[in-house]
Amino acid sequence: TCFFIRSPKGFPKLKNDTFLRAARGEETEHTPVWCMRQAGRYLPEFRETRAAQDFFATCRSPKLCCELTLQRGWVWDYSIPGSSILPCPQALGMEVVMVPGKGPTFTEPLKEVEDLLKLRQKVDVTAELGYVFQAITLTRHSLEGKVPLSGAPWTLMSYMIEGGGSTTMAKAKSWLYRHPEASHRLLRLLADVVTDSLVGQVAAGAQALQLFESHAGHLGPEQFEDFALPYIRDIARAVKSKLKEEALPLVPMIIFAKDAHYALRELAHAGYEVVGLDWTIRPQDARAQTGKDVTLQGNLDPCALYAPKEKIGELVKKMLEGFGTQRYIANLGHGLYPDMSPEHVGAFVEAVHAHSRHINKH
């Protein structure tokens, strides 16, 4: 059992609640916007600050996480400290290093079912992930109430078995076919740690939560239904139950399962207020599949930011007309790329705000 501190007192009053209102399905004056991998992928000042720092050393420094989160302050409607996902496998006892040009790498990935015995079976997230919670608290205080901030099992499992990124996920998927029971044991363990981590982030001051199932596209409908969707549902249910038990705010939750078009109807009823979309589905089709009771998030092709600024504005206008400006959070269909121009990212944000205000007015 994990015991969480109450949400720290004295947070500045929130000045921009547009994102939170959109997530809850309330009317907004403009469409809120944020980007995944907001700073770490493309801001020169972020890369310069982190150049002399080991990635996970940075993650474990609440002060540095806060500084990096606040860099280059476009008028974001949402902001995320960058240390809240990969530390979960670390909390289970696995060593992860960030290899330049390769990304997160597990020095000793899981190879056999017996390797599950090496993992911690009970995790005190307050002790193991305290630095994540401290970074969230510090960032929310530093944002002075201007922007709300945030802090998934199959994706984590795939990293832990593959040892890093993979184009096929063949090693991880082979577990699903060869070792289904062991796969469920690992997924349950991860779901429990993710749940406690998310609750801890709310206790630390997070006002919304997003669950990334970035590798959903490697699963077909049957495997997704067996090995991903149950844990996605369980996390939403368990997080909300524990938030009630701890008398913490019931914050909006977002599920982003990349390439899981076949499961949009199920995801819309999985217990999340917001469903994130990648760029390979039309807004109208997504609305038709998810209904009117959830907010949608997405879904501009990230590569659109390589276009001239005028073209970015045109694409944003078309996207807003497809989704509508209400029950909608603008975002890219995935994360920013390292060589993207900060000015073009700014043009994207400004276009969302300007066009959505114009559409709402007329």
Q: Which residue type does 179 have?
A: H
**What's residue 243's pLDDT?**
97
Q: Which residue type does 268 have?
A: A
Angle at 333 between CA 328 and CA 335, to 5 degrees: 120
Low-confidence ranges of the chain (pLDDT < 50): 1-7, 38-43, 45-47, 49-52, 72-74, 146-147, 150-151
pTM (2 decimals)?
A: 0.88
Token couple for 54:
């080991």
The residues, ordered by sequence, that sit 6+ positions from 346 with a Cβ below 8 Å of its Cβ are 74
Closest C-alpha to 70, from 143, 132, 20: 143
Rounded-to-integer distance, Cα 356 and Cα 199, Å:
33
Rounded-to-integer distance, Cα 235 and Cα 250, Å:
14
**What's residue 79's pLDDT?**
63
Rounded-to-integer distance, Cα 303 and Cα 317, Å:
16
Token couple for 323:
């989704």
Question: Strands 103-106 and 274-276, how do they pair?
Answer: unpaired
Question: Hey, how many other C-beta atoms are within 10 angstroms of the C-beta on 222?
Answer: 9
For residue 16, whether the previous peptide bond is cis, meaning omega lies within 30 degrees of 0, is: no
**What's residue 1's pLDDT?**
31
Rounded-to-integer distance, Cα 225 and Cα 267, Å:
10
The full set of domains in the chain, from first to last, is 19-361 (3.20.20.210)
**What's residue 14's pLDDT?**
78
